[in-house]
Amino acid sequence: MENVHLWAQPLILMTAFIFFWREAKGSRRELKEYIREELTKVDARFNRFENEMRKDLGEMDKRVARMEDKVDARFDRLERILLDQGK
């Protein structure tokens, strides 16, 4: 009987180790897939944010160009007025 006990206990321990090792391996795989999915979502959100920022910066560039044109036109008028007064 004691011989059976000497063989059974290591066998049970080895079986338990293999079971938990497989469970841990599956959990790691699931975690890796979850992290990959989350990184893909973050990457997509970052790309959308980047595109929105580029669009906003393009609109700001257009507004600045319009303001420059207005200021140039005002300076041109002021210059003409000053030149006309100097004659």
Domain boundaries, the chain: 25-86
Length of the chain: 87
Model confidence at 5, pLDDT cuts 50, 70, 90, reads confident
Model pLDDT for residues 9-48, shown as the tens digit of each residue: 888 888 888 888 888 888 888 999 999 999 999 999 999 9
What predicted TM-score, i.e. pTM, was given to this entire model? 0.54
CA distance 37 to 18: 29
Nearest to 3 by CA among 16, 11, 17: 11
CA distance 83 to 80: 5
Which one has a higher pLDDT value, 71 or 11? 71
List Cα–Cα distances, 3 to 8, 14, 77, in angstroms: 9, 17, 110
Percent of the chain at pLDDT > 90 equals 59
